[in-house]
């Protein structure tokens, strides 16, 4: 069993527990008075020559272990640094078992920044969309490789019904075709193979020509230098998603400037 298979298996169990603890009706009541979600898609359309940055609040990963520097982990302070230094949006990893995240951190960050927030998790059930909306997310991640085509279409439509944008993540040409077939407007190309966790920025360069004009394209993972970003920007990517390269940076504002090609 791959790590991804294990994550999805455990996510099913987790969602079942969360449904019991907090019924969907409670989430619906929590969502009713909320202001409309922020414009995640609009935030990712950069000016000519620029690249939008989705900066990720990410404490750990199964392949790399703990990423955060030694000392207390302060996701709110990290998110503020991102927002204050030009991140177009912030991704918040909320998976607990494998990434040491928490859904409550998304709520805390929502109260601290004004930029759109992406809930980064393994979304397999409509219940999680209601959770995301109630917690303050403006967008959710839908991973093509873990969803049957019909389920992907259902979740994409349900997210739209809640006002949530969806970053539809692909890693192969077949997955790109599936994302386009259901009408995805924001397509993520994950440079990391979730079965092996090998990362190749060339994945974006290979798959981008398959995507017609119209959808926003986000290149995800593997960015540490401006040279990395230039490769995908030249290929036509509108935005990048960066976690480890920022969390481990000694000077995060400077790294943001570098990765958004501002220096």
**What is the reported pLDDT for 68?**
75
Selection from 78, 125, 81, 146 nearest residue 106 by Cα: 78
Selection from 188, 234, 220, 89 nearest residue 180 by Cα: 188
Cα–Cα distances in angstroms (integers) from residue 85 to residues 92, 162, 184, in the given order? 17, 30, 29
Q: Which residues are annotated as catalytic? A: 56, 58, 120, 169, 190, 220-221
92 strand-pairing partners: 57, 119
Burial class (CB in 10 A: 0-12, 13-18, 19+), 95: buried
**What is the reported pLDDT for 259?**
95
Q: What is the pTM of this model?
A: 0.95
- Point out the residues of the chain with pLDDT beneath 70: 70, 263
What angle, 0 to 180 degrees and rounded to 10, lies between the N-to-C axes of helices 126-135 and 149-161?
Answer: 30
According to DSSP, the β-strands at 239-242 and 60-61 are unpaired
- Summarize pLDDT for 216-242 with one digit per residue, the tens: 999 999 999 999 999 999 999 999 999
Report the alpha-carbon distance of residue 200 to residue 184 in Å, rounded.
Answer: 23
Rounded to a whole number, what is the distance in angstroms from the first to the last CA of the chain? 44
């Amino acid at each position: 069993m791959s790590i991804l298979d294990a994550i999805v298996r455990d996510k099913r169990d987790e969602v079942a527990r969360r449904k019991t603890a907090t019924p969907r009706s409670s989430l619906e009541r929590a969502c009713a008075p909320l202001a409309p979600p922020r414009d995640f898609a609009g935030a990712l359309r950069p000016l000519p020559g620029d690249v939008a940055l989705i900066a990720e609040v990410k404490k750990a990963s199964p392949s790399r272990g703990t990423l955060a520097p030694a000392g207390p982990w302060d996701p709110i302070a990290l998110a503020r640094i991102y927002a204050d230094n030009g991140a177009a949006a912030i991704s918040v990893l909320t998976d607990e078992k494998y990434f040491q995240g928490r859904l409550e951190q998304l709520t805390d960050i929502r109260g601290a920044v004004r930029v759109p927030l992406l809930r980064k998790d393994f979304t397999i059930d409509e219940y999680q969309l209601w959770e995301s909306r109630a917690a303050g997310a403006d967008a959710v991640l839908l991973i093509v490789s873990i969803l049957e085509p019909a389920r992907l279409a259902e979740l994409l439509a349900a997210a739209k019904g809640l006002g949530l944008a969806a970053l539809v993540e692909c890693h192969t040409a077949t997955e790109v075709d599936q994302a386009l077939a259901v009408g995805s407007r924001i397509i993520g190309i994950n440079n990391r193979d979730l079965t092996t966790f090998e990362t190749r920025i060339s994945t974006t360069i290979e798959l981008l020509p398959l995507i017609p004009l119209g959808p926003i394209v986000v290149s995800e993972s593997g960015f540490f230098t401006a040279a990395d970003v230039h490769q995908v920007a030249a290929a036509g990517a509108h935005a990048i998603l960066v976690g480890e390269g920022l969390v481990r940076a000694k000077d995060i504002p400077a790294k943001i400037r570098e990765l958004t090609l501002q220096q």
